[in-house]
Amino acid sequence: MAHFVIIGAGECGARAAFALREKGFAGEITLVGAEPLHPYERPPLSKAGSADAADPKFIATLEKYTESGIRLLTGLEARDFDTTSRTVTLSDGTTLSYDKLLLATGASARSLPGASENSPHIRSLRTHHDAAALRDAMKPGRHIAIIGGGFIGLELAATARLLGAGVTVVEGLERVLKRGVPEEIAHLLTERHRAEGVDVRCGVSIAALTEEGGKAVIRLSTGEIIEADLALVGIGARPNVEIAERAGLTIENGIAVDTYLQTSAPDVFAAGDCCSFPLPIYDGLRVRLESWRNAQEQGTLAAANMLGLDEAVSAVPWFWSDQYDMTLQIAGLADGAVLHLRRDLGPGAFILFHLDAAGRLIAASGIGPGNTIARDIRLAEMLIAARAHPDPAALTASDVKLKSLLAA
């Protein structure tokens, strides 16, 4: 009987395991996770909606894994795998033989060079354990310093303010959300954070981050010192590729795979945050995406291709962020855009459409309260997938429905 092994029990790995069963695979499935908890959703870790949640939002119950015939091994790391003998060695010395192997190892938080390590007052956010420690510090009268003005940092800033903690955000670049978010939207979010009482500082570098006297102490390049009950380092993530490197796989901003998520080794696949892949819709541009939906979609796609169904990557990149009552959604990749058009959708809600030199819609970025932008971003995503060249005037006209452009 064939044995498929999945390394990484996060969103991607868990979805792949269930998708294998849904697609009719009757062999053995072993899902290996380093965390002691069974697979859970990670987006809620930084979002205010689950600020008081003691337990993570599990992807499925333990009974569901048993019923589906999925052997779930938690609290164990996969140390090595050998592509010749087709074996995986675990941290407890166990050896697993595989017929097909999926690497869904995810990503880890980047550390700040020179920062004190193993301090309870200096944290990052990747796991439920990290989130629980952060929530303990997010109380009235406490002060949280967030290093990095990216999505995780700003979401945590919003969560901390809603829970009553004081917040300072320090961003080394000239503005927050520099990567992938238009300046117009970043400015709106910055002003909203400031209105909520967040001290947002951009264009400031950090000389040192230490723990002193039960506090996190941040020394800025300007000479100023910021003290906080807890400092969160949110300066991005790095793909977990170490096990793939040791096995001799090709690494290129993550574990390099083709459009079928196949690595450079036979019968070894990779998916989710840990891999880079070519996007046909952007002429084969190789990208690595850190997003919940990409992890879901690639888990299912990897399962299909482990079964030999030869399904290529076709999805349009999509990302969302919730901050206060505002939702930001981005579809596509705006790199290479030369024309940026705005469509207003109501008070505080708008979408920016990004077109390339040929007039093709390659991305759309929207922000607004609640779900005000969701429908139009979804339609924009469909236009991007269709490689549409919509009339610019129609994109900006609020009375012209995007659905009609899709039909055209």
pLDDT in tens, 261-272: 999 999 999 999
Asked whether residue 298 carries a pLDDT value surpassing 60, the answer given is yes
Asked whether residue 207 falls in the same domain as residue 349, the answer is no
Q: What pLDDT, on a 0 to 100 scale, did the predictor assign at position 284?
A: 94
Last residue within a domain, chosen from 191, 213, 235: 235
Give 50's pLDDT tier (boundaries 50, 70, 90): very low
DSSP secondary structure letters along 121-155: TEE--SSHHHHHHHHHH-STT-EEEEE--SHHHHH
| Contact status, residue 273 vs residue 295, Cβ threshold 8 Å | yes
How many domains does the chain contain in total? Answer: 3
| Contact status, residue 123 vs residue 111, Cβ threshold 8 Å | no
Asked whether residue 36 falls in the same domain as residue 79, the answer is yes
Average pLDDT score over residue span 294-302: 97
Last residue within a domain, chosen from 194, 213, 235: 235
Asked whether residue 298 falls in the same domain as residue 255, the answer is yes
Give 345's pLDDT tier (boundaries 50, 70, 90): very high
Residues whose CB falls within 8 Å of the CB of residue 254, separated by 6 or more in sequence, listed in order = 239, 241, 270, 273, 274, 275, 276, 288
The secondary structure of residue 49, as a DSSP letter, is: G
Query: What are the tens digits of pLDDT across the range 107-121?
Result: 999 988 877 767 889
- Token pair in block for residue 276: 């880079």
Domain assignment of residue 282, yes or no: yes
Asked whether residue 94 falls in the same domain as residue 122, the answer is no
Cα–Cα distance measured from residue 241 to residue 111, given in angstroms and rounded to the nearest whole number? 16
Domain assignment of residue 316, yes or no: no
Which CATH number fits the domain that encloses residue 101? 3.50.50.60
Average pLDDT of the chain to the nearest whole number? 94
Q: Where are the alpha helices (DSSP H) in 218-347?
A: 242-246, 292-306
Asked whether residue 192 falls in the same domain as residue 267, the answer is no
Query: What are the tens digits of pLDDT across the range 163-197?
Result: 999 999 999 999 999 988 999 999 999 999 999 99
- Token pair in block for residue 278: 């070519």
- What are all long-range contacts of 173-176, with beta carbons under 8 Å and residues at least 24 apart? 173/149, 173/202, 173/203, 174/202, 174/203, 175/149, 175/202, 176/149, 176/150, 176/200, 176/202
Asked whether residue 125 falls in the same domain as residue 203, the answer is yes
Give 136's pLDDT tier (boundaries 50, 70, 90): confident
Domain assignment of residue 320, yes or no: no
Average pLDDT score over residue span 229-234: 94
Domain assignment of residue 313, yes or no: no
Asked whether residue 158 falls in the same domain as residue 212, the answer is yes
Q: What pLDDT, on a 0 to 100 scale, did the predictor assign at position 23?
A: 98
Domain assignment of residue 311, yes or no: no
- Token pair in block for residue 258: 């083709």
Query: What are the tens digits of pLDDT across the range 13-30?
Result: 999 999 999 999 999 999
Containing structural domain, residue 121: 111-235
Identify the bridge partners of residue 319 per DSSP, sorted by sequence position. 330
Asked whether residue 215 falls in the same domain as residue 286, the answer is no
Domain assignment of residue 192, yes or no: yes
Asked whether residue 154 falls in the same domain as residue 209, the answer is yes
Cα–Cα distance measured from residue 77 to residue 32, given in angstroms and rounded to the nearest whole number? 7
Asked whether residue 135 falls in the same domain as residue 75, the answer is no
- Token pair in block for residue 23: 């697609």
